[in-house]
Amino acid sequence: MVGERGSDALAQAVESRLLAWDSARAARRVWERDPGFWPETDPEEIRTRLGWLRPQVEDPEVRRAFHEFAREVRDEGTDEVFLLGMGGSSLAPQVFQGMFGAAPGHPRLTVVDTTHPDLIREVDRRLRSGRALVVVASKTGTTLEPQVLSRHFWRLLEANGERPGRHFVGITDPGTTFAVEARRLGFREVFQAPPDVGGRYAALTVFGLLPAALIGVDLHRLAESARAMIARCGPSVPPDEHPGLQLGAYLAAAHDAGRTKVTFFATPPWTTFPDWIEQLLAESTGKRGKGLLPIVGEPILGAASYRDDRAFVQVGPREDARSRTARTLAQLERDGAPGLEIPSEEIYDVGGEFFRWEFGVAVAASALHVNPFDQPDVDLGKRLTLETMAGGGAAASTVRGLEVGSAPPGAVRAAFERLLSGTPEPRYVAIQAYLVPGAATDRALTELRRALATRWRVATTVGYAPRSLHSIGQYHKGGPPDGRFVQLLDDPSADLPAQGEPYTLGQILRAQASGDLEALTRARRATLRLELGRDVERNLGAVRDAVDAGA
């Protein structure tokens, strides 16, 4: 059950929204795929993007096929699955791995959503064991990173004396050039995705379900959870009993009250679930100069450190009332900050929660008068990246930012002072980390977020790029212009060639940073690029110290 806490005014706004949706027959119009429910949008696009209302997880034949394939892979002794995908093709699998882990006897899943040479060399080492499966997931079949990495790993296995096809599986829409090419090359399997489901709404389709089955998630239990939530969100359910409309009303009311920074608290094992919500919420609502910004993984601050532009959502099991999270939320509630609690003690509830959030965000977008199913500014960033590469990947790799390790004393602090001055007043800082994910880097980025929030009282986001460009990136360029952007780049220990291309993997990563920087500049967003060299942890500490020194 969704529980609202905090602001009486926002609670009244939620109630008003539910009454309006009751009069407008909102739930029924969504189920009837009425394009008029989302004003000022392309009717044909709306009609062809609502397949998630009847997701593949409901089909017992689909579930059986995925389980049988997973059993076949497991019985062969496969111990690793590498998924090549971006955004909607990778985030749900990442949630499943984070929440469930690999069941005994099943392979572990690693999502590869970057061309960073240091990470790719590590995958190369693990792939040479010959006991790995590579899943290439791309809805359109044209996504840059999976294309480049697929060729790279294919050549690696060939050089290792393997028949690559038996190690490769494709997931894509019917009829894509990738599907045709994968079958020509002899991919072990090519699974078709429903063409009427956009990537960020695809958690309960093959994009999420096949990787889940491979690591041993019980798809039948997942389907039971999803079916129960789908029934509760049915076309005839009254709005005040409808979980999807209730969530959508909370999000819409928060937006209208200026509470546009939706801050998530998640308890284990649900800590990775907001990573999936991040793309769904940011990419669905962040356009036309408005939207809801998800704040995920931010360190818990003192209640006084949060501005009045925050709304709060808690997911997962309830924590002990004495925990820091519980005490912070209790204080925020006393201060009148709006909060929403979606408790869950059962891990398989995630099937239903995927659907609740898809429905809730889609109807919230209607209230914001935006199309929840397009992503125009993400597409711009992709195009600018390709233009940069066409102009010469090597040229893109020579564009350098402020060198943290050799900058004059006070230069980094002064750069942040400039970045966070001016109008409109900054309300959030987005850190784009073109770095290799790891525990030490995670800790250093968390401390940098804490320093920024303490010094400037801004919300903070962190996204490992280029993953974040495909998730929260739409909001960065299409949402309200109150963000500031920090790009963090390092120097790989050694670069790697991109097979069949006139540039390297490292140059692709730099071109993506440059393409996004250009997209942000065109959107009149203030940016700062910092070079961390090869000692990432030390130089991230130096950046944090520079921010602290300005306090």
pLDDT 10s digits, 493-533: 999 998 878 889 999 999 999 999 999 999 999 999 999 99
For the cut 70, the answer to whether the pLDDT of residue 2 exceeds it is no
End-to-end Cα separation, the chain, in angstroms: 42
Question: Alpha carbon of 540 to those of 116, 455, 533: distances in Å?
Answer: 18, 17, 10
Longest distance between any two alpha carbons in the chain, whole Å: 67
Q: What is residue 501's predicted lDDT score, i.e. its pLDDT?
A: 80
How far is 518 from 511, CA to CA, in rounded Å?
10
Q: What is the 3-state secondary structure (H, E, C) of 367-426?
A: HHCCCCCCCHHHHHHHHHHHHHHHCCHHHHHCCCCEECCCCCCCHHHHHHHHHCCCCCCC
Domains recognised in the chain with CATH numbers? 3-28+235-350+360-368 (3.40.50.10490), 53-223 (3.40.50.10490), 376-549 (3.40.50.10490)
**Element holding 461 (H helix, E strand):** strand 459-464
For the cut 80, the answer to whether the pLDDT of residue 387 exceeds it is no
Both tokens of 279, joined, read 């793309």
Q: Are the C-beta atoms of residues 169 and 133 closer than 8 Å to each other?
A: yes
Q: Which of 402, 420, 429, 425 has the alpha carbon at shortest distance from 550?
A: 420
How far is 193 from 317, CA to CA, in rounded Å?
32
**Which percentage of the chain shows pLDDT scores above 90?**
80
Both tokens of 485, joined, read 């952007």
Q: Which of 475, 427, 470 has the alpha carbon at shortest distance from 452?
A: 427
Cβ neighbours for 75, distance < 8 A, ≥ 6 positions apart: none
Range of weakest confidence among 40-44, 58-62, 97-101, 281-285: 40-44
pLDDT band at 3 (very low <50, low <70, confident <90, very high): low
- The neighbour count for residue 23, using CB atoms within 10 Å, is 9
pLDDT band at 1 (very low <50, low <70, confident <90, very high): very low
Q: Which of 464, 448, 439 has the alpha carbon at shortest distance from 540?
A: 448
Both tokens of 498, joined, read 């991109």
For the cut 90, the answer to whether the pLDDT of residue 193 exceeds it is yes
How far is 113 from 474, CA to CA, in rounded Å?
18
Strand order in the sheet with 132-137: 108-112, 80-84, 132-137, 168-172, 189-192
457: left (phi over 0), alpha (psi -120 to 50) or beta: left
How far is 404 from 406, CA to CA, in rounded Å?
6
DSSP SS3 for 76: coil
DSSP 488: E
Cβ neighbours for 356, distance < 8 A, ≥ 6 positions apart: 229, 233, 243, 244, 247, 342
Q: Which of 425, 525, 277, 364 has the alpha carbon at shortest distance from 37?
A: 364
Q: Which of 375, 22, 333, 30 has the alpha carbon at shortest distance from 198?
A: 375
Q: Which of 143, 73, 67 has the alpha carbon at shortest distance from 108?
A: 73
Q: What is residue 232's predicted lDDT score, i.e. its pLDDT?
A: 98
Both tokens of 513, joined, read 């940073």
Looking at residue 392, its amino acid is G
The whole-number average pLDDT for the span 538-543 is 96
pLDDT 10s digits, 453-470: 999 999 999 999 998 888
For the cut 90, the answer to whether the pLDDT of residue 337 exceeds it is no
